[in-house]
Amino acid sequence: MNWLRRRGIAFWLLAAAFLSATGAAFGPTLARERDVLTLFFVIDITRSMLARDHGTTDAPLSRLEQAKRTIGAVTRRLPCGSKVGLGVFAERRSFPLIEPVEVCANFGPFNEAVAGLEWRMAWEGDSRILGGLASAQDVAQKLGSDLVFITDGHEAPPAPMEGRRTAPSSDTTAGLILGAGGSELVPIPKFDDLGNLDGFYSLQDIAAGARVSIVPPGASKSGNYHPRNNPVGNLAATSTEHLTSVREKYLREIGGEAGLGYAPLGDIGAITAEIDIHTSPHRLDASVDLSPLLGALSLFCILAAYAWNASVVWRRESTLPGHAILAHRTVS
């Protein structure tokens, strides 16, 4: 046992580093109770979500791309044991793509699926937000999930100016709406079948498809309304429906009616706060991976051993005469 006593501190630090690294390689876990969530993300993939009013001036992002990044940021913050699912919204229906899966074990494949979403997956060009929200609530309820509904609130055809339906409330589905887009009006881009930019939507494009909207107040008295030939009154002359911004007031209204919270897309602090308030966590015996902790301990021990050896060499050299230091370095 004498040889053990003669070993220096650096030896024991390196031994601890070896044992820690070996332990990390086996992937040990620790069982403990924690609050976990089950979130079902639904992304609006209609044309207005292609407007580029996120990011920076030098590197603008479309609303759809920002939605993907936000989902990645949210899932990265969820504790292991939580589950995440994915769906898309177009026309008046929300369609599930991935049923909720455990976030840590499936983080890579899930985020690859999110990254692959694009506007060409939409089966219709219409965007009826209330119908899509109701459909998303139904899907989330069947999956036993809380809902995260991501949209800019831009209805196509244009929503009625009065007399709209009330958003359906649910006693079993909690969650929130994330409002995509900025507060300033921006054009909606057009793309060809190959995904190349082909200009922007005009007012005439929007008016041509808006033949089923409820008449604006007073349209029948203005002389611009005809029930068959011009059911939206003077939309082509006065509307900004060919431009888009986040319809925050509208989204907050329907979110309140549906019992959902609201946060701006991209504001991760506000999103986290709303998730805490408007979702239903449940207790789960979840496992905590100890490998990162053991790996960090191993690295610390290696660095400490190196620092200790360096300090020992420095102390030895500082106690030797100058000619002895020179001779010592020459021999070394």
DSSP string, 17-29: HHHHHHHHHT--E
Percent helix, strand and coil across the chain, each rounded to 5? 45, 25, 35
C-alpha distances in Å from residue 123, one per residue of 87, 136, 169, 188: 13, 16, 26, 18
Instruction: Count Cβ atoms below 10 Å from residue 163 Cβ, excluding itself.
Output: 8
| Structural contact between residues 294 and 28, judged by C-beta atoms closer than 8 angstroms | yes
Q: In the numeric block, which tokens belong to residue 328?
A: 């010592």
Domain residue spans in the chain? 2-28+290-331, 31-201+242-287
Output DSSP code: residue 103: T
Using CB atoms within 10 A of its CB, is residue 51 exposed (0-12), middle (13-18) or buried (19+)? buried
pTM of the predicted model, to two decimals? 0.73
CA 79, CA 273: separation in Å to the nearest integer?
Answer: 15
Length of the chain: 332
CA 72, CA 114: separation in Å to the nearest integer?
Answer: 8
For 163-290, where are the alpha helices, taking DSSP H only? 203-209, 219-222, 235-238, 248-258, 268-278
Task: Tell me which amino acid residue 26 is.
Answer: F
CA 178, CA 72: separation in Å to the nearest integer?
Answer: 14
pLDDT at 193: 78
3-state secondary structure of 136: helix
Pick the CATH number of 31-201+242-287 from 3.40.50.410, 3.40.50.720, 3.40.30.10, 3.90.1150.10: 3.40.50.410
Single out the residue of 211, 214, 203, 206 nearest to residue 125, CA to CA.
206
- Per residue in 79-133, pLDDT tens? 988 999 999 999 899 999 999 999 999 999 999 999 999 988 988 878 899 999 9
**Can you say whether the dihedral through the CA atoms of 133, 136, 140, 146 is positive or negative?**
negative
CA 212, CA 310: separation in Å to the nearest integer?
Answer: 80
Q: Helix 107-115 to helix 63-77 angle, to the nearest 10 degrees?
A: 170
Using CB atoms within 10 A of its CB, is residue 89 exposed (0-12), middle (13-18) or buried (19+)? buried
- Per residue in 67-90, pLDDT tens? 999 999 999 999 988 999 999 999
CA 36, CA 294: separation in Å to the nearest integer?
Answer: 24
Mean pLDDT by 10 residues, the chain (332 residues): 58 86 85 88 95 91 96 95 96 95 95 94 87 95 96 84 72 88 93 84 69 51 52 57 92 94 95 95 78 90 84 61 52 49
pLDDT at 3: 47
Q: CA torsion, points 256, 100, 43, 137, in degrees to nearest 10?
A: -30
Strands 54-55, 60-61: parallel, antiparallel or unpaired by DSSP? antiparallel
